[in-house]
Chain A
């Protein structure tokens, strides 16, 4: 039968030569390849001592932003939750009481804001849908864990800690979203 491609090879049953029967040249050839790879540049890095530089628009763990006066931006409008293709976000809203004006920017705020990180696919649709500049994906890698319950990230894990840790810079992502580049 004529082959469809001309890449097929006929199997020959010819006798091996002496050098082939010794196998030593073949073993040496194999060793040569192995030793050659010892001196090559490594593809892996020693995480977490060494860390790779992320691209400017890397999509990692979420941050809930505060404004210049340290008030939370999120008003629990629910657009991120409805935009989320993985349905990872759940929000419970509450009304701002008198005396809490320095904590929350608008009269409604998110009393609970949970993201199930096992569901999240880091697509960034939440930040794109946010009308209040409140949620962004950062360069921080979301922590792994042995316990499934620990993957439901609550508000206190995501809200920007302006007092002790300082602000998280999201200007690259913000500009990227505005230009439609991300």
Chain B
């Protein structure tokens, strides 16, 4: 198995693993990814936020790679040495990429429903400048409805192509894609055709920004005032494993369960997402543990302390024996 060293931490990974996946296996110093989505084939390589520096190509050919490489698309070699957060060149490049991504992105976070769980917001908080140096007009589009439950804000789109890949890989017939090229390219349904598929709602979950949002949740609340709870139901079309977002007694929103890398565990169907918004429809499993760095944790700090949780678990083990 090839051995790769990322920021002085070594790990052995199966052949064919990308640098980004290896970094996720380590769990520290993981490059951010705006377009790569491990559940979608062919995703990645577009946004360039995951750029890393390869200081040693491999054991056989120890020359460093001449340019920064996209870690989501570069597979590891045996003896490879990678620098991510420890390289000033990488942080500098990431700062530049962030500035480029924000060139056309509007500053409407106070209005946007994605604020609080937006990856671009996190990225610009960490790597962005406080001010934009761009002097020209941002590109502007009209708000569009994709079907009756999904809204597209093309202004906010960063063209990661994740949603078109969802449509391509999850649903038999894709009805939306990217039209035009370059600066004027946009996500669109062909001839404003409604996306009418059982799994089309997953576009909302995969969108890293607020370009595709749930119309049933539009302006209902802010993400940090809602409380995520894991739940499941017996769904004939999908796994039925979801996260419910509660405000008080009310389910405001249903999404797929997201892992640490903001990727859903299972894609869920539109019936679960849009039509089952009552507690009686679901079997509640328990609260989602929210990262304490996230603004979502503001209103409900973790109740179980990790130490106590471990004690409880060890107690359980000993009684079982």
Contacts and interface: CB of A to CB of B under 8 A. Distances in A.
- Chain B binds chain A: yes
A111 to B, nearest CB: 9
Interface of B: 108-111, 115, 218-222, 224-225, 295, 298-299
A76 B219 CA distance: 9
A93 interface: yes
Contact of B219 (A81, A82, A93, A131): A93
Contacts, number: 36
A108 B219 contact: yes
Interface of A: 75-79, 81-82, 93-95, 106-108, 131-132
**What is the predominant secondary structure among interface residues of chain B facing chain A?**
loop
Contact of A81 (B115, B225, B295): B225
Nearest to B108: A106
Contacts of A79: 110
B111 A75 contact: yes
A78 B219 contact: no
20 contacts: A75-B110, A75-B111, A77-B109, A77-B110, A77-B111, A77-B222, A78-B222, A78-B224, A78-B225, A79-B110, A82-B224, A82-B295, A93-B220, A95-B219, A106-B108, A106-B110, A106-B111, A107-B111, A108-B110, A132-B110
A82 B299 contact: yes
A77 B115 contact: yes
Contacts of B111: 75, 77, 106-108
Contacts of A107: 111
Nearest to A111: B219
A131 B219 CA distance: 17
Nearest to B218: A95
A93 to B, nearest CB: 5
A151 to B, nearest CB: 22
A95 B299 CA distance: 24
Contacts of A95: 218-219
A142 B111 CA distance: 30
B319 to A, nearest CB: 40
Nearest to A76: B219
A85 B107 CA distance: 26
Ranked nearest first, the 10 interchain pairs of A and B with the lowest CB-CB distance are A77-B110, A78-B222, A93-B219, A108-B111, A75-B110, A108-B219, A131-B110, A95-B219, A75-B111, A82-B298
B117 to A, nearest CB: 14
A106 B299 CA distance: 26
A82 B300 CA distance: 11
A93 B299 CA distance: 18
A81 B111 CA distance: 15
Given A77-B110, A106-B108, A131-B110, A94 B219 contact: yes
A64 to B, nearest CB: 14
A78 B295 CA distance: 12
A30 B158 CA distance: 83
Contacts of B109: 77, 131
A51 B221 CA distance: 42
Contacts of B224: 78, 82
B153 to A, nearest CB: 10
Nearest to B223: A78
Given A77-B115, A132-B110, 9 more contacts: A75-B110, A77-B111, A78-B225, A82-B225, A93-B219, A106-B111, A107-B111, A108-B111, A131-B109
Specify which of B219, B220, B298 lies most central, judged by the most chain A CB atoms within 10 Å of its CB: B219
A27 B110 CA distance: 70
Nearest to A107: B111
Contacts of B298: 82
Contacts of A77: 109-111, 115, 222
Nearest to A95: B219
A155 B299 CA distance: 24
A131 B130 CA distance: 13
B301 to A, nearest CB: 13
B216 to A, nearest CB: 13
